[in-house]
Amino acid sequence: MTSHQPRLTVVPLTWRQACEFTNAWHRNHTAPRGGKFAIGVVDNNALLRGVALCGRPVARALDDGLTLEVNRTATDGCPNANSALYSACGRIAAAMGYRQLVTYNQDGESGVSLAAAGLRKVAELPARGSWADASIALKHLRDPDGSGGVARCRWLMDLGAMS
């Protein structure tokens, strides 16, 4: 029996819609608190299959006004949804005038969807403490689980070739 690959279409979403989907489907994190834009992919039946939330880079050194970060993606497991989201984020970011797109994955995640969308691994980063430990004043706003203690990789898409 051959599985049917749904045709995916990129759609705009409100931040709230994307956060609700992320909180329901993301394996490791809750939705980010704010950002620049949110998009989704829907199948042939207009069923939302995945979302991407984009914003300023979390790493201060990358927050130069010309770099956009895909802060979170989440899917319901639909094949190719993640790659479609990353590709669309790159096209949107280039159209907005950004020069590069960055994102991260955790150690143990393959990064296949990132590579398929045209991103390349540029750094392997060691595990760090939780964001919740970084600021006593903001601790109540942070995800208590976070990604502390997990090594991760930074991925980059050069958008200069897209503009």
d(CA 6, CA 123): 33
* Residue 62, token pair as written in the block: 């990358």
Phi and psi torsions of 42, nearest 5°: -115, 155
Amino acid 131: pLDDT:
56
Amino acid 142: pLDDT:
55
d(CA 86, CA 81): 9
User: Residue 13, exposed/middle/buried by CB under 10 A (0-12, 13-18, 19+)?
Assistant: buried
How many C-beta atoms surround the C-beta of residue 27 within 10 A?
7
DSSP H helical ranges for 40-150: 81-95, 112-116
The radius of gyration computed from the CA coordinates of the chain, to the nearest angstrom, equals 16
Amino acid 117: pLDDT:
96
pLDDT in tens, the chain (163 residues): 456 778 999 999 999 999 999 999 987 777 778 899 999 999 999 999 999 999 999 999 999 999 999 999 999 999 999 999 999 999 999 999 999 999 999 888 899 999 999 999 999 998 876 655 556 666 565 555 555 678 999 999 999 866 5
Residue whose token pair is 């990604």: 147
Residue whose token pair is 């950002």: 35
Selection from 35, 1, 5 nearest residue 19 by Cα: 35
Do the beta carbons of residue 5 and residue 77 sit within 8 Å? no
Amino acid 97: pLDDT:
97
Phi and psi torsions of 106, nearest 5°: -85, 155
Amino acid 82: pLDDT:
96
Amino acid 57: pLDDT:
95
Amino acid 1: pLDDT:
44
Amino acid 4: pLDDT:
73
